[in-house]
Amino acid sequence: SQTIHQWPATLVQPVGSPLSLECTVEGTSNPNLYWYRQAAGRGLQLLFYSVGIGQISSEVPQNLSASRPQDRQFILSSKKLLLSDSGFYLCAWSAGTGTREQYFGPGTRLTVT
Amino acid sequence: SQKIEQNSEALNIQEGKTATLTCNYTNYSPAYLQWYRQDPGRGPVFLLLIRENEKEKRKERLKVTFDTTLKQSLFHITASQPADSATYLCALDRGLFSGGYNKLIFGAGTRLAVHP
């Protein structure tokens, strides 16, 4: 069966510090991968998606970047965090074809102080 | 711009009753609509998907309807239980695959509390 991992679970970082969040998927090949951010009381905002290694698309301009160095690894990064980067970050995957639902990881709670 | 609305207030019901959650959208024509459950501090979990040409979809105690004329989906939980307490998210899916990618637009969710 497929599983998705995210780490760390929680993170407190000062403004201006770098960020690296990692997501890995097991039990599937060539998944579509997604990074979302969820603010309190708000819907999930799609940040990045990837349909293959090295292929990254950004949905909104922001202080963050994403990379996909391996088929089942997705990384969210920032060189200098802003207060507005605080939130709940979720990684998700979906099968490349045939199915439409997305499967989410446990999330990372990021607080920028 | 596209807009998706779910009841912002929490829905409180008694155990055993039917919970009905609403998802309304504007300026959009989704080919599919998905519902997810999210527990506090956890990632959403997929529940049901309904296609635009389907009026109703059922899975155990769950039922989803999709009215493209009203631009509305209703999500029902029959014989509700305290364990059903969670936030339920609806998501619009246009159904376009661009290189195998489908973009979902999520609502903010409705929190359901089922009381014993």
pLDDT at B69 over 70: yes
Q: Tell me which chain B residues have a C-beta less than 8 angstroms from the C-beta of A49.
A: 101, 103
**β pairing state of A103-104 and A65-70:** unpaired
- What are φ and ψ of residue A85, in 5° steps? -80, -10
B28 contacts B81 by C-beta, under 8 angstroms: no
User: Measured between alpha carbons, how far is B68 from B52 in angstroms, rounded to an integer?
Assistant: 7
Chain B contact for A2 (CB, 8 A cutoff): no
- Over residues A79-96, the pLDDT tens digits come to 999 999 999 999 999 986
pLDDT at B89 over 90: yes
pLDDT at B16 over 80: yes
Q: A18-27, A32-41, A95-104: lowest mean pLDDT where? A: A95-104
- What are φ and ψ of residue A11, in 5° steps? -155, 130
Percent helix, strand, coil in chain B, to 5, is 5, 55, 45
Per-residue confidence at B99, pLDDT binned at 50, 70, 90?
low
A67 contacts A88 by C-beta, under 8 angstroms: no
Do the chains contact at A107 and B32, CB–CB below 8 Å?
Answer: no
pLDDT at A3 over 90: yes
pLDDT at B98 over 70: no
* Percent of chain A residues topping a pLDDT of 90: 79
According to the model, what pLDDT value does residue A42 have? 80
- CA torsion sign for A74, A99, A42, A46 is positive
Do the chains contact at B106 and A44, CB–CB below 8 Å?
Answer: yes
Q: What is the mean pLDDT of chain B?
A: 91
Q: Tell me which chain A residues have a C-beta less than 8 angstroms from the C-beta of B41.
A: 107, 109
